[in-house]
Structure 1
Amino acid sequence: MRVLFAAHQFFPEHYAGVEVVTLGLARELRARGHETFVLAAKRSIPGNDIEPGETEDYEFEGVPVRRVGRPKEGPSRPYRLDYENEVMAARAREYMREVRPDIVHAEHFQGLSAAVIPAFKEFGVPLVYTATDFWAMCPVVDFRRHDGAMCRGPELAHCVRCIASRHTGTRMKAIADRTPAAAIRLAGALSSTPLAALSHQLRQIGALRERPDYIRERMRLVDRIIVYTRLMRELLLANGIGEGKIVVSPYGIDTSRIAGLPPGDSEPPPLRVGFIGTLAPHKGCDILIRAFRMLPREMQAELKIYGNLERFKPFVRHLRRLAAGDRRISFPGPFRREEVGRVLSGLDVLVVPSRWYENQPGVILEAFAARMPVVATDLGGMSEFVRHEENGLLFGLDDPADLARQLRRLYEEPGLLRRLREGIGPVKTVEEDAAGLEALYESLLSGRERVV
């Protein structure tokens, strides 16, 4: 069969969780005799050499890819383009005509917008959507509010402030901070009146107000929704998405670079602690550094922080200031995918200190594949994989003191690290994941007439 994957971004510039999963499935399905393709958005920013709506074609590791330039970014960009972009829909139709897939599997709609959903369905093929994060419900994706509270669904006044909070130091954020919630809700009501034609701000608020209903309606066209966690299923249903269509199925990972590692059997001292991920505030690396610096100086431990040091430079500078003067903390930076085995073999425990729900961090599965315990924030998503006292430890949200206590336990309690290693079960592989998807695709295809 011919399978078209859709994603918000793709290799080579972008190589986080969604991209890794998409590439892994596309390659594995090719190995199983199918034809796979990728349609992805690409940010139209200086250095990316692509204009909004422009396309570029290339192959990555044997998979044909078409990328389409996203709208220019900035406060003046019409917010509606976040979820309703007819240019992206037109490009999706063009690629559908060229590729003629039997099935479309969307791993993410950000950048492409939900307008591509009816465009895909015009061709009479099944459409599968994997809710890799909370974009369908949250305009800033992470479901963590501007005030630090965990969110459960869109509310206009909070959504306005959440978007503004991503633009620190701007006039937009200053205005949003000073505007009462009642005034924002009033602006939302006025945005549906003729006054909106006279005000860019009202049009922006109106577009944000209409976002949930627009996405919810398009999502009704999706044939099957795959979620990695029970938490995601619960949140989608609570927000009116996916009734009767949701399948809970964690994704599989490529274990080929990890499987050959010698089994971890080292015991502290020293305790070798690691962080692997995006060095952005919502990932909580600052919590880990604060916790690590609470450990007694006589405790033999080291912390290695792996991640791109250039993408979120202000936050990286903040992390370096937090770590200043502590020689036990180092910043090796990013590493190539083929080096994951080497990196993991140099650690005893991985810490995932995220401030948001985290749908299914691939790094947790990679650590488990290497028989390495994980210490994670006690939040839905992560806590479905990291089971306290069985294959890892959990600590309270935004609580470096609690994290420090858990790290001390690994150092001070004899046999704890070994017991947690023994509690790690088998990890789902990309081969197993692809086989399950293959069966899903075939069941969907058998229930329709082929459209020529």
Structure 2
Amino acid sequence: MMRILQIAPAFFEFQRGGTELCARSLHRSLLNQPGVESHLLACVPSWHAKPGAGSDFLAPTSGRGETGIAIRGFDHFHLSQPDHLGTLRAFRDFLETYRPDRIHFHHLLYLGVEGIAMARRTCPDAEILLTLHDYYAICANDGLMTKKPDGALCYAAQPHACLQCLPEASIEAVALREQGIRAALELLDRMIAPSAFLRDRFLAWGVPAERIVHQPNALPEGWDGMAHLPARDRRAGEPAVFGFFANIMPHKGLHVLLEAALWLKAQGVEGFRIAVHGADTHAPDAYKARIAGLVETLGPAVSMRGAYGHEELPSLLAGVDAVVVPSVWWENDPLIVHQAAAIGRPVLYADLGGLAEAGAQSGGTGFPASDPAALAQRLREIIQLDGESTRTEPALAAIGQRHRPEKRPA
């Protein structure tokens, strides 16, 4: 019996991100596999939930083989877990009890570089993997590889350049951060890059080519059979409906979509609606104000639908004529592109980084990133399909079968 441990930075129920969903999906896909015993260990920061007195573990979900480990503090800059007598000791105890044959980290957040070191010391014969869902290891600016204050794209991490985004840090601190992360990555058997673009960024950062493989993400559980889900067929004279599905943050590019809509309005184009699905909980106040101003100007052409549940997503996707992904950062392998394609919804995507890869694979249509006029032209092409179906061939419906974790290269 092979024991596989997936380690997530949070439970998906508490933090609805792609990283958390991927970790949970890989775990649940293995639960009924013969010869495999799977467990999910998710970090639970204190702002999500707190364990009972005297305990470091909790079970806030009903999922089989899912455990939470309490996180009481974390050094985000160094990606370091300083609580050696609490969190790290509890992690060691869990590893000694479960004794996994494979340990699959999905982020450096919360267990930190020390978590990888603890896994290697406690389970010296285990295979230890890390899926790189973003650029956190390279970039201390929330792993975005964008520059402050304007969000310009960044192509490489260089200590002196990094200080422009991190004025409170020193050159020594930036160098120490990189040294600690590189030392932890050396302890891994393999890193997994969901996009070729991300792999190239890590190769440029100095990771040896033989230690990092390109492996696209699998679709979440339950999505393999979505190809035949009834989808919207727009009638003649009806407005085209464009869907945006993401947290409302500057790097997700909602402003680009809304500015494209303004461009269409200025050209006298009226036959469209934009449905914005996502919360602005973590958005900077200035960005919230910017979006609010655009929404007010566009009036009834835009509806702000708020956050959505994972179980709602298939029907929400099926209810739009096209999905727009206007991100202004590199992205990696955004699940929403694959999910839209699995249902047969066309995707309009910013031609940038891993998003360009996923969009091209989905059969979508690209446009230059951060260019509202170019996006407006793509929107107009959909609008002009008055009464024609926009349904695409769900070419990615089998992606979940192609990338199950037990089939990863040796």
Q: For the superposition of Structure 1 and Structure 2, which TM-score range results when normalised by the shorter chain?
A: 0.7 to 0.9
By how many angstroms is 1:111 displaced? Answer: 2.1
SS in 2 for 1:341: helix
Aligned twin of 1:273: 242
Pairing partner for 1:292 from 261, 269, 276: 261
Which 5+ residue runs of structure 1 have no aligned equivalent?
165-171, 173-183, 189-205, 445-452
By how many angstroms is 1:428 displaced? Answer: 4.0
Aligned twin of 2:164: 161
Aligned twin of 2:218: 252
By how many angstroms is 1:149 displaced? Answer: 2.5
Aligned twin of 2:39: 37
1:309-352 per-residue CA deviation (whole Å, 9 max, x = no partner) reads 43437334432221104111001112221111210121010011
Does the C-alpha gap of structure 1 residues 288 and 28 become closer, same or farther in structure 2, counting only changes over 3 Å?
same
Matches within 5 A, 1:164-203: 188=171
By how many angstroms is 1:133 displaced? Answer: 0.8
- For the 8 Å contact 2:328–2:370, the answer to whether it is kept is yes
SS in 2 for 1:376: strand
- For the 8 Å contact 1:41–1:68, the answer to whether it is kept is yes
Matches within 5 A, 1:78-157: 79-80=77-78, 82-83=79-80, 85=82, 87=84, 88-122=87-121, 123-124=123-124, 125-139=126-140, 140-146=142-148, 147-157=150-160
Pairing partner for 1:353 from 315, 323, 326: 326
- For the 8 Å contact 1:107–1:129, the answer to whether it is kept is yes
Tell me how far apart the structure 2 counterparts of residues 55 and 49 of structure 1 sit (CA, whole Å).
Answer: 9
Tell me how far apart the structure 2 counterparts of residues 304 and 286 of structure 1 sit (CA, whole Å).
Answer: 13
For normalisation by structure 2, the TM-score amounts to 0.87
Q: Percent of pairs identical after alignment?
A: 26
2:368 paired with 1:401:
no
2:19 paired with 1:18:
yes
2:183 paired with 1:217:
yes
Instruction: For 1:433, give the aligned amino acid.
Output: H
1:278-299 per-residue CA deviation (whole Å, 9 max, x = no partner) reads 1111111111111112213542
Instruction: For 2:27, give the aligned amino acid.
Output: A
Instruction: For 2:80, give the aligned amino acid.
Output: Y
- For the 8 Å contact 1:258–1:340, the answer to whether it is kept is no
For normalisation by structure 1, the TM-score amounts to 0.79
- For the 8 Å contact 1:4–1:105, the answer to whether it is kept is yes
Aligned-residue Cα RMSD (Å) equals: 2.8
Matches within 5 A, 1:425-440: 425-434=395-404, 437-440=405-408
- For the 8 Å contact 1:274–1:351, the answer to whether it is kept is yes
- For the 8 Å contact 2:226–2:397, the answer to whether it is kept is no
SS in 1 for 2:360: coil
Aligned length: 393
Bigger drift between 317-326 and 367-376 goes to 317-326
Tell me how far apart the structure 1 counterparts of residues 184 and 55 of structure 2 sit (CA, whole Å).
Answer: 24
By how many angstroms is 1:364 displaced? Answer: 0.5
By how many angstroms is 1:413 displaced? Answer: 6.0
Instruction: For 1:310, give the aligned amino acid.
Output: T
By how many angstroms is 1:397 displaced? Answer: 2.0
Instruction: For 1:32, give the aligned amino acid.
Output: Q
Which 5+ residue runs of structure 2 have no aligned equivalent?
none
Aligned twin of 1:168: none
By how many angstroms is 1:126 displaced? Answer: 0.6
SS in 1 for 2:270: coil
Tell me how far apart the structure 2 counterparts of residues 257 and 12 of structure 1 sit (CA, whole Å).
Answer: 23
1:123-150 per-residue CA deviation (whole Å, 9 max, x = no partner) reads 1211011111111111121111214332
Aligned twin of 2:343: 370
By how many angstroms is 1:114 displaced? Answer: 1.4
SS in 2 for 1:209: helix
Bigger drift between 308-317 and 220-229 goes to 308-317
- For the 8 Å contact 1:229–1:384, the answer to whether it is kept is yes
Pairing partner for 2:359 from 375, 382, 386: 386
Instruction: For 1:117, give the aligned amino acid.
Output: I
- For the 8 Å contact 2:226–2:343, the answer to whether it is kept is yes
By how many angstroms is 1:252 displaced? Answer: 1.3
By how many angstroms is 1:302 displaced? Answer: 0.4
1:138-174 per-residue CA deviation (whole Å, 9 max, x = no partner) reads 112111121433222322233233246xxxxxxx6xx
SS in 2 for 1:324: helix
- For the 8 Å contact 2:234–2:387, the answer to whether it is kept is no
2:71 paired with 1:69:
yes
